[in-house]
Amino acid sequence: MILLFLRKHTSLPLILKGILHPEDAKLAIKHGADGIIVSNHGGRQVDGAIGALHALPKICDVVQDKIPILMDSGIRRGSDIIKAMALGAKAVLVGRPAMYGLAAAGEQGVKEVLRNMVADLDITLGLAGQRDVKQLDLSILYKTS
């Protein structure tokens, strides 16, 4: 398997992107992945693939914090970050908004987009009565009792 080959040739962390099925997450752990990124590559690769946000909870259920889970696909605003982290992601990846900022205003545009996203996250956390993304769980999304 390619993961074993890579493990032999590097001491860098190996993080697999494009995991959408719980069985693939199990295999990633079994074969020594240091983390996984739940992503459908923006839906560009396989039209009609499951949304990454829908795949995230089941993947978190099987991984059970053995390795970090990052979320990619569709992170555009603070509320997207809150949803992903409440569903179990340890962090999110922000690609497209950063590229928009880069196209509009270069390095300064990227900085501005990321500043705005952090500010939106902070405001949305406050509006939801939360202080820290580390405290988020399913109760922020669903009535749990």
**What is the set of active-site residues?**
41
**DSSP-assigned states of every residue in 32-97:** T-SEEEE--GGGTSSTTPPPHHHHHHHHHHHHTTSS-EEE-SS--SHHHHHHHHHTT-SEE---HH
User: Using CA atoms, how far apart are residues 139 and 145, in angstroms rounded to an integer?
Assistant: 9
User: Using CA atoms, how far apart are residues 141 and 67, in angstroms rounded to an integer?
Assistant: 24
